[in-house]
Chain A
Amino acid sequence: MLLPLDMMRAGEHAEVAEVAGDPAWVGRLAELGLREGARLCVVQPGTPCLLQVANGRLCLRGSECSQILVRPLCGAE
């Protein structure tokens, strides 16, 4: 089951399935570690939202989160 990232709730874990949108933006996110196959945890949903990606924290806006499709994972990674 794939979900847009902005529909995830606080504390939920997921694996990134697809990052859509402007190539420059997709490239930028990849540099920051947010890419296909990356695991993340939603620290704070909303806009802007706070994500734990690997051992780093990123913040993005809700409108951009909807361009990222994730596969929710049960429990912790």
Chain B
Amino acid sequence: MTPLPLTVALVGNPNAGKSTLFNALSGLRQHVGNYPGVTVELKKGLATIDGRAVEFIDLPGTYSLAARSPDEMVAVDLLLGRRPEEKRPDAILAIVDASNLERHLYLTTQLMELGVPVVLAVNMVDVAAKQGIGVDIEKLSQSTGLPVVAIQANAGIGLDKLKAAILAAAGTPPPSRPPLPEAIERETESLANELNGSVPTFLARRLLLDIGGYAESWLTTKHGPALAAKLEAARLRLIGSGHPIPAAEAKARYAWIRQVASVAVRKPSQRPVTRTDRLDKVLTHKVWGTLVFLAIMFVVFQAIFVFASIPMDAIKEGFKKIGDGIESVMTPGPLRALLVDGVVAGVGGVVVFLPQILFLFAFIAILEDCGYMARAAFLMDKIMSRCGLSGKSFIPLLSSVACAIPGVMATRVIENRRDRLATILVAPLMSCSARLPVYGLLIGAFLTKDRPFWLPGLALFGMYLIGFVVAPLVALLLKRTLLKGETPVFVMELPQYKRPAIRAIVRRMLEAGWAFLRRAGTLILASMILIWALLYFPNTDASGAKYDAKLAEIAEQAETAEDDAKESLEKQANELRGEWKRNSLLGQFGRSLEPVFRPLGWDWKIGVAALASFPAREVIVGTLGILYDQGDVDEEKEEQLQDEIKARWTEEPERGRYAVPTAFSVMVFFALCCQCVSTLAVIRRETKSWAWPAFTFAYMTALAYIAALVVFQVGRLLVDGGA
């Protein structure tokens, strides 16, 4: 029988290099664990060390084990073996930053109280050495009583030693913990007795020490006012004996740390000026820093648009070939139409935007990995505080630029509930990657050919700017009305700059791409087929004849016909197709709603596509593809949907004249609407209520409609004025 794998939990401060170490240790064998009742997802990875299976669990980065929310409590419960779905870790791998060892050891002192062996990985020893900071590993091990290994996680240095230390540590007795004042130990013990040993001493200690913490709210709710009174009395006694909390805890822990560091850490008497200091002089500067930030954003978006077009063309070509292949081996009929026009064209129309998503995630991963993201939050805090949010909301909102789903999930770092809710509600306003297909399609169709080279980038930048401007305004409104309350305190760490790790970036890109494709493969495909069906059926004209049969007949005639006859047959076929779509189920519904769309400059096709994109915004592209018969006509097979739309709009008097205002009206609508079932589902999950997603959908749709209306009407006046 093979023994159960050893379980090792990775714990460390944010920016200690924890994820890098986790990836280096567990390689590609990773999966994500979900926990019922909370929103935390933990990554797990399996490795084999000396023939022994070891499972690593990557806990979220944290500065301490003083849990303030159910989500933070998951890590503590897991470490204590109190989660039913995980066994208690056999060892804890604590990772600390050598260049800021004292601060990082604070968490380690708490980890040493858990009753589990702890292995200390001192990371970034090379960076520390450059700053003249030397860590004596042997002395550190002696003074802490822990096995200590020096590593450079990004370069993979020291990992073999670390693995050996982990194997050796598992199953050994837990370390002796750094002492706290006698008075605190006494009160902890009496509280633990009060709880009849129903919780570990560690939690009794957190109950005592964390004023307003999760342990307090949880246990006092569970055990009633008697416990609350006892807790209050204990804390008062601590003040009386000169150990007021929380200062007493910090004092005791840092006293122990100072003792340890004085033995093991060698530091220059004067802190040298580091690369981070020099870079921050510019990058956090109010004027230069802001300019650099805006320049970076502009470059990112222009690059996405220009470079991504190369692989996109290849993908388009590939899907066209697949569609042609199916068409050549199958007989005409509903099944072939479903496969070619519904499945292949639909999925192809979504997959084609994968390169842009990969590019965007690459940029976000680079900015985050090199430490710039926190500077952006710092620069943005002043603006964000004006709309009642903090710089912390900036990172979730900026992540929403890639996708609102991770963005909404990233709001977990915001401790204040109202701030968090406001951020969640406005996150879907940020221009996510699912809007890129819409922007890409329309900007490509109307603002690229025969226009200045900078116009597409500028237009795309403008579309993104809408989110950056409207989201804070809505947040301000929410904070002034629905989510009124006092401003919370704000503190944030700015990590040292470092060279981004290529492997980590590639991994982030692939994860994002895979997540997008999976959505494309399931939810989107399902809605594409539904939309195809709604547009295909009833498939009979007034006399009961089938449209596709009639079209096949015309095509047959055209093959043998003379050139001038061909032209009229072509026209006939086009008219027939238009009639077919108009009479389809969705066409009928869309046409009945046309008065609603007309003030936006939309015809029923755009309206139908917008309706059809309720499951996900990117669906509009595939739907427009079907509505505009992309690939149905031989001569136009090489042409793209863009040319098709442009051509069709030019034919119509209204949209021909006002093509650009109409394009912008559609883009602005999609910039502001919440046509994304997944986002709504995530909001429901994070807020644990259907009311918030319903509210989000309602307010965003109203906002989108009004904005699109204004854009089209103003645009129309401009066109008429300029003519």
Contact = CB atoms under 8 A, between A and B. Distances in A.
Given A32-B493, A77-B271, A56 B103 contact: yes
B66 A59 contact: no
A23 B66 contact: no
A35 B378 contact: no
B251 A36 contact: yes
B490 A61 contact: yes
Given A30-B250, A31-B66, A48-B391, A23 B493 contact: no
Interface of A: 19, 21-37, 43-44, 46-48, 50, 52-61, 63-64, 76-77
B106 interface: yes
A64 B211 CA distance: 19
B276 interface: yes
A50 B489 contact: no
Contact of B494 (A21, A35, A58): A58
Interface in B180-221: 210-213
B271 A27 contact: no
Contacts of B276: 57
Interface in B463-506: 487, 489-495
B422 to A, nearest CB: 17
A23 to B, nearest CB: 4
Given A27-B211, A48-B382, A50-B280, A22 B489 contact: yes
Contact of B490 (A26, A31, A43, A60): A60
B300 interface: no
A47 B382 contact: yes
A63 to B, nearest CB: 8
B357 interface: no
A19, A29, A31, A76: residue with the most chain B Cβ atoms closer than 10 Å: A31
Which 6 A-B pairs have CB atoms at the shortest separation, nearest pair first?
Answer: A30-B250, A27-B246, A23-B211, A57-B494, A31-B63, A33-B103
Interface in B348-373: none
B30 to A, nearest CB: 29
B131 interface: yes
Nearest to A56: B100
Contacts of A48: 378, 381-382, 385, 391, 490
Interface residues of B, number: 43
B211 A29 contact: no
A27 B491 contact: no
B39 interface: no
27 contacts: A21-B489, A22-B212, A22-B489, A23-B246, A24-B212, A24-B213, A24-B246, A25-B491, A27-B66, A27-B245, A28-B489, A30-B249, A30-B250, A33-B100, A43-B284, A50-B378, A52-B271, A55-B103, A58-B491, A59-B391, A59-B491, A60-B490, A61-B381, A61-B489, A61-B490, A64-B489, A77-B271
A35 B254 contact: yes
B431 interface: no
Contact of A35 (B250, B270, B385): B250
Interface string B61-73: 0011010100000
B548 interface: no
A37 B211 CA distance: 22
B570 interface: no
A28 B382 CA distance: 21
B133 interface: yes
Given A32-B63, A55-B131, A26 B492 contact: no
B423 interface: no
Contact of B246 (A30, A44, A60, A76): A30
Nearest to A67: B489
A59 B99 contact: no
Nearest to B209: A27
A59 B494 contact: yes
Contacts of A23: 211-212, 245-246
A5 B501 CA distance: 37
Interface string B43-87: 000000000000000000001101010000000000000000000
Interface in B96-130: 99-100, 102-103, 106-107
A57 B249 CA distance: 22
Given A28-B491, A31-B66, 5 more contacts: A47-B385, A50-B284, A57-B280, A58-B491, A60-B490
